[in-house]
Amino acid sequence: MTKKNKYISTAILTLLLSASLNAQQGDVTIEQDKEIDKLLEYKKDVKTSKVYRIQIFQSTDPDKADREKLNFLNLFDEWPAEIVWNTPNYKIWVGNFTTRLEADRALAKIKKEYMYAMIFQPKSDKK
């Protein structure tokens, strides 16, 4: 086979392959339930930011925890407090701080009365 024939056969083969490999054009229509859009909007509204809390007390006695919660609320009424049962302890968690700075400022005030208070991030929030 001569060089000329090789070039001709390569050109013909290239033309045949390129003709069969052309992309097809068309329109794609996606139909989806309108509820999906509502769910996406809801997900945008749900805050995925970190939440900080302060633990001020823990005890195995629920009555002690309840009394300490009332004492805390009498001293500091600007933050909510709740008793959380985490086997085997009843813990008092304070606040729902959106930034670490906000939690640090609250901790500085709270530590004056509760020296063992500490900031933490709960694994799951009840919101």
Domain 52-120, CATH among 3.40.50.300, 3.30.70.100, 3.30.70.1070, 1.20.140.10: 3.30.70.1070
Report the predicted TM-score, pTM, of the whole model to 2 decimal places.
0.59
125 has a pLDDT exceeding 70: no
Q: Where are the domains of the chain?
A: 52-120
Which candidate, 56, 65, 52, 64, places its Cα nearest to that of 101? 52
Q: Residue 111: what pLDDT?
A: 97
The owner of tokens 């809801």 is 42
- Please calculate the CA angle 51-56-57 and round it to the nearest 5 degrees: 125
Q: Tell me: the pLDDT tens digits for 21-44?
A: 656 778 888 888 888 877 777 766
Residues comprising the chain, all counted? 127
| Res 1: pLDDT | 64
Could you report the per-residue pLDDT of 91-103, keeping only the tens digit for each?
999 999 999 999 9
Residue 74: what residue type?
A: N
Say what the pLDDT of residue 127 is: 46
Q: Quick: pLDDT tens for 39-63.
A: 777 766 665 568 999 999 999 999 9
Chain segment 69-119, per-residue pLDDT in tens: 999 999 999 999 999 999 999 999 999 999 999 999 999 999 999 999 999
* Residue among 98, 95, 99 at smallest CA distance from 114: 95
